Amino acid sequence: MPGQHLPPLRKKNEQKEGWIMKVLLLNGSPRKEGCTFTALGEVARTLNEAGIETEIFQAGNPDKENVKAAVQKMKVADALVVGSPVYWASPSGQIIEFMDQFVSMAGNDLLYKPAAAVASARRAGTTATLEVLTKYFSFYQMPIVSSNYWNMVHGNTPDEVQQDEEGMQIMRILGRNMAWLLKCIEAGRKNGVDMPETEEKIKTNFIR
Ligand SMILES: Cc1cc2nc3c(=O)[nH]c(=O)nc-3n(C[C@H](O)[C@H](O)[C@H](O)COP(=O)(O)O)c2cc1C
Protein backbone atom coordinates (compact mmCIF):
# COMPACT_ATOMS: atom_id res chain seq x y z
CA MET A 1 0.00 0.00 0.00
CA PRO A 2 1.25 3.53 -0.68
CA GLY A 3 3.25 4.94 2.21
CA GLN A 4 3.06 1.74 4.21
CA HIS A 5 6.36 0.70 5.75
CA LEU A 6 7.66 -2.75 6.52
CA PRO A 7 7.71 -3.85 10.14
CA PRO A 8 11.23 -3.49 11.56
CA LEU A 9 13.43 -6.53 11.19
CA ARG A 10 13.95 -8.62 14.26
CA LYS A 11 16.98 -7.54 16.22
CA LYS A 12 19.50 -10.17 17.31
CA ASN A 13 18.50 -10.18 20.99
CA GLU A 14 14.85 -10.58 20.01
CA GLN A 15 15.44 -13.73 18.00
CA LYS A 16 13.39 -16.75 18.92
CA GLU A 17 15.05 -19.64 20.70
CA GLY A 18 15.52 -22.59 18.40
CA TRP A 19 16.26 -20.68 15.21
CA ILE A 20 18.89 -22.91 13.80
CA MET A 21 19.32 -21.56 10.28
CA LYS A 22 20.49 -18.19 9.12
CA VAL A 23 20.34 -16.37 5.78
CA LEU A 24 22.77 -13.59 4.87
CA LEU A 25 21.27 -10.94 2.57
CA LEU A 26 23.71 -8.56 0.84
CA ASN A 27 22.39 -5.14 -0.14
CA GLY A 28 24.48 -4.06 -3.12
CA SER A 29 23.18 -0.49 -3.21
CA PRO A 30 25.10 2.47 -1.85
CA ARG A 31 21.66 3.62 -0.56
CA LYS A 32 21.41 1.81 2.76
CA GLU A 33 17.64 1.79 3.12
CA GLY A 34 16.47 2.29 -0.43
CA CYS A 35 14.61 0.08 -2.88
CA THR A 36 16.91 -2.94 -2.78
CA PHE A 37 16.77 -2.90 1.02
CA THR A 38 12.95 -2.78 0.85
CA ALA A 39 12.86 -5.84 -1.40
CA LEU A 40 15.36 -7.73 0.75
CA GLY A 41 13.38 -6.75 3.83
CA GLU A 42 10.32 -8.54 2.47
CA VAL A 43 12.37 -11.69 1.76
CA ALA A 44 13.85 -11.48 5.29
CA ARG A 45 10.46 -10.95 6.92
CA THR A 46 9.09 -14.05 5.21
CA LEU A 47 12.12 -16.09 6.24
CA ASN A 48 11.67 -14.86 9.83
CA GLU A 49 8.04 -15.98 9.72
CA ALA A 50 9.29 -19.44 8.75
CA GLY A 51 11.56 -19.43 11.82
CA ILE A 52 14.79 -18.58 10.02
CA GLU A 53 17.20 -15.92 11.24
CA THR A 54 18.31 -13.21 8.79
CA GLU A 55 20.81 -10.40 8.50
CA ILE A 56 20.83 -7.68 5.84
CA PHE A 57 24.45 -6.64 5.29
CA GLN A 58 25.34 -3.33 3.64
CA ALA A 59 27.43 -4.46 0.65
CA GLY A 60 27.21 -1.20 -1.30
CA ASN A 61 30.70 -0.45 -0.05
CA PRO A 62 33.25 -2.79 -1.67
CA ASP A 63 36.18 -1.87 0.60
CA LYS A 64 38.25 -4.92 1.51
CA GLU A 65 37.49 -4.67 5.25
CA ASN A 66 33.76 -4.58 4.57
CA VAL A 67 34.01 -7.59 2.25
CA LYS A 68 36.01 -9.46 4.90
CA ALA A 69 33.27 -8.77 7.46
CA ALA A 70 30.68 -10.32 5.12
CA VAL A 71 32.94 -13.32 4.48
CA GLN A 72 33.04 -13.96 8.25
CA LYS A 73 29.23 -13.87 8.34
CA MET A 74 29.02 -16.29 5.41
CA LYS A 75 30.92 -18.91 7.42
CA VAL A 76 27.90 -19.34 9.71
CA ALA A 77 25.15 -18.56 7.18
CA ASP A 78 23.18 -21.40 5.57
CA ALA A 79 22.05 -19.43 2.51
CA LEU A 80 22.75 -16.22 0.61
CA VAL A 81 20.61 -13.58 -1.09
CA VAL A 82 22.32 -10.88 -3.16
CA GLY A 83 20.33 -7.76 -4.03
CA SER A 84 21.36 -4.98 -6.38
CA PRO A 85 19.87 -1.88 -7.95
CA VAL A 86 20.07 -1.83 -11.73
CA TYR A 87 22.70 0.65 -12.92
CA TRP A 88 23.00 1.03 -16.68
CA ALA A 89 21.10 -2.23 -17.25
CA SER A 90 23.58 -4.18 -15.07
CA PRO A 91 24.26 -4.80 -11.37
CA SER A 92 25.74 -1.82 -9.53
CA GLY A 93 29.50 -1.44 -9.94
CA GLN A 94 29.71 -1.62 -6.16
CA ILE A 95 28.16 -5.10 -5.92
CA ILE A 96 30.26 -6.46 -8.78
CA GLU A 97 33.42 -5.21 -7.07
CA PHE A 98 32.11 -6.60 -3.77
CA MET A 99 31.15 -10.02 -5.16
CA ASP A 100 34.36 -10.51 -7.14
CA GLN A 101 36.26 -10.32 -3.84
CA PHE A 102 33.58 -11.97 -1.68
CA VAL A 103 33.27 -15.23 -3.62
CA SER A 104 36.99 -15.79 -3.95
CA MET A 105 37.49 -15.13 -0.23
CA ALA A 106 34.43 -17.10 0.94
CA GLY A 107 35.20 -20.08 -1.37
CA ASN A 108 34.18 -23.34 0.29
CA ASP A 109 31.86 -21.51 2.70
CA LEU A 110 29.54 -21.02 -0.28
CA LEU A 111 29.39 -24.64 -1.44
CA TYR A 112 25.89 -26.22 -1.57
CA LYS A 113 24.25 -23.26 0.24
CA PRO A 114 21.01 -22.11 -1.42
CA ALA A 115 21.24 -18.69 -3.07
CA ALA A 116 19.12 -16.14 -4.90
CA ALA A 117 19.63 -12.79 -6.61
CA VAL A 118 17.23 -9.84 -6.41
CA ALA A 119 17.16 -6.77 -8.70
CA SER A 120 15.55 -3.38 -8.15
CA ALA A 121 15.04 -1.00 -11.08
CA ARG A 122 13.01 1.95 -12.20
CA ARG A 123 12.20 0.09 -15.42
CA ALA A 124 14.77 -1.93 -17.40
CA GLY A 125 17.85 -4.11 -17.09
CA THR A 126 16.56 -6.45 -14.39
CA THR A 127 17.01 -9.81 -16.13
CA ALA A 128 20.55 -8.94 -17.27
CA THR A 129 21.34 -7.94 -13.68
CA LEU A 130 19.95 -11.22 -12.30
CA GLU A 131 21.89 -13.21 -14.85
CA VAL A 132 25.20 -11.63 -13.85
CA LEU A 133 24.58 -12.14 -10.12
CA THR A 134 23.38 -15.73 -10.53
CA LYS A 135 26.64 -16.70 -12.23
CA TYR A 136 28.49 -16.36 -8.92
CA PHE A 137 26.15 -18.97 -7.42
CA SER A 138 26.41 -21.53 -10.20
CA PHE A 139 30.23 -21.48 -10.04
CA TYR A 140 30.07 -22.46 -6.35
CA GLN A 141 27.48 -25.26 -6.72
CA MET A 142 24.83 -23.27 -4.84
CA PRO A 143 21.23 -24.42 -5.44
CA ILE A 144 19.47 -21.40 -6.98
CA VAL A 145 16.11 -20.54 -5.41
CA SER A 146 13.33 -19.11 -7.56
CA SER A 147 9.92 -17.47 -7.13
CA ASN A 148 6.79 -17.13 -9.29
CA TYR A 149 8.55 -14.66 -11.61
CA TRP A 150 12.12 -13.39 -11.97
CA ASN A 151 13.20 -11.81 -8.69
CA MET A 152 12.68 -8.10 -9.33
CA VAL A 153 10.94 -5.05 -7.91
CA HIS A 154 10.27 -1.73 -9.62
CA GLY A 155 10.63 1.74 -8.14
CA ASN A 156 12.88 4.67 -7.45
CA THR A 157 11.91 4.99 -3.78
CA PRO A 158 11.03 2.48 -1.03
CA ASP A 159 7.40 3.68 -1.17
CA GLU A 160 7.21 2.97 -4.89
CA VAL A 161 8.66 -0.50 -4.34
CA GLN A 162 6.01 -1.20 -1.72
CA GLN A 163 3.36 -0.17 -4.24
CA ASP A 164 4.74 -2.82 -6.63
CA GLU A 165 2.41 -5.52 -5.34
CA GLU A 166 3.65 -8.11 -7.80
CA GLY A 167 7.28 -7.41 -6.90
CA MET A 168 6.59 -7.69 -3.18
CA GLN A 169 4.74 -10.96 -3.73
CA ILE A 170 7.73 -12.28 -5.70
CA MET A 171 9.92 -11.45 -2.67
CA ARG A 172 7.59 -13.22 -0.22
CA ILE A 173 7.36 -16.35 -2.35
CA LEU A 174 11.14 -16.32 -2.78
CA GLY A 175 11.54 -16.18 1.02
CA ARG A 176 9.11 -19.07 1.53
CA ASN A 177 10.76 -21.17 -1.17
CA MET A 178 14.18 -20.58 0.38
CA ALA A 179 12.86 -21.52 3.84
CA TRP A 180 11.37 -24.72 2.40
CA LEU A 181 14.61 -25.69 0.67
CA LEU A 182 16.67 -24.99 3.80
CA LYS A 183 14.35 -27.17 5.87
CA CYS A 184 14.50 -29.95 3.24
CA ILE A 185 18.31 -29.87 3.29
CA GLU A 186 18.30 -29.98 7.10
CA ALA A 187 15.79 -32.86 7.14
CA GLY A 188 17.90 -34.71 4.58
CA ARG A 189 21.05 -34.22 6.66
CA LYS A 190 19.30 -35.60 9.75
CA ASN A 191 18.33 -38.67 7.71
CA GLY A 192 21.75 -39.43 6.29
CA VAL A 193 21.57 -37.49 3.00
CA ASP A 194 24.94 -35.79 3.03
CA MET A 195 26.37 -33.19 0.69
CA PRO A 196 27.60 -34.80 -2.53
CA GLU A 197 31.18 -35.94 -2.85
CA THR A 198 33.23 -33.47 -4.77
CA GLU A 199 36.24 -33.77 -7.06
CA GLU A 200 39.48 -31.90 -7.49
CA LYS A 201 38.78 -29.06 -9.94
CA ILE A 202 40.02 -29.65 -13.49
CA LYS A 203 40.98 -26.44 -15.26
CA THR A 204 41.70 -26.36 -18.97
CA ASN A 205 42.30 -23.41 -21.26
CA PHE A 206 40.88 -24.94 -24.43
CA ILE A 207 44.47 -25.87 -25.27
CA ARG A 208 45.92 -29.15 -24.11
C1 LIG B 1 23.66 5.43 -11.78
C2 LIG B 1 22.29 4.88 -11.89
C3 LIG B 1 21.94 4.13 -13.00
C4 LIG B 1 20.66 3.59 -13.14
N5 LIG B 1 20.35 2.83 -14.24
C6 LIG B 1 19.13 2.27 -14.35
C7 LIG B 1 18.81 1.43 -15.47
O8 LIG B 1 19.63 1.13 -16.33
N9 LIG B 1 17.53 0.92 -15.53
C10 LIG B 1 16.58 1.22 -14.60
O11 LIG B 1 15.48 0.73 -14.72
N12 LIG B 1 16.87 1.98 -13.51
C13 LIG B 1 18.11 2.51 -13.37
N14 LIG B 1 18.42 3.27 -12.26
C15 LIG B 1 17.39 3.42 -11.19
C16 LIG B 1 17.62 2.40 -10.05
O17 LIG B 1 17.89 1.12 -10.54
C18 LIG B 1 16.38 2.31 -9.15
O19 LIG B 1 16.03 3.56 -8.68
C20 LIG B 1 16.61 1.31 -8.01
O21 LIG B 1 15.37 0.87 -7.52
C22 LIG B 1 17.41 1.96 -6.88
O23 LIG B 1 17.62 1.03 -5.85
P24 LIG B 1 18.27 1.48 -4.46
O25 LIG B 1 17.35 2.47 -3.83
O26 LIG B 1 18.41 0.24 -3.65
O27 LIG B 1 19.61 2.08 -4.79
C28 LIG B 1 19.69 3.82 -12.12
C29 LIG B 1 20.04 4.60 -10.99
C30 LIG B 1 21.32 5.10 -10.88
C31 LIG B 1 21.68 5.92 -9.64
Q: Report whether 76 contacts 110 (CB < 8 A).
A: no
Return the pLDDT at 20. Answer: 81
Axis crossing angle, helix 165-190 with helix 35-49, rounded to the nearest 10: 40
- Interatomic CA distance for residues 181 and 62, integer angstroms: 30
For 186, which DSSP code? Answer: H
Residues in the chain, pLDDT under 70:
1-19, 208
Q: Report whether 101 contacts 69 (CB < 8 A).
A: no
Topology of domain 18-190, CATH: Rossmann fold (3.40.50)
- Interatomic CA distance for residues 151 and 166, integer angstroms: 10
Average pLDDT of the chain, as a whole number? 92
- Give, using CA atoms, the residue closest to atom 5 of ligand 1: 87
The string of pLDDT tens digits covering residues 135-180 is: 999 999 999 999 999 999 999 999 999 999 999 999 999 999 999 9
Return the pLDDT at 28. Answer: 98
Test site for ligand 1: of 32, 81, 86, most ligand atoms within 8 A of the Cβ: 86
Q: Report whether 73 contacts 62 (CB < 8 A).
A: no
- Which residue ranges make up each domain of the chain? 18-190
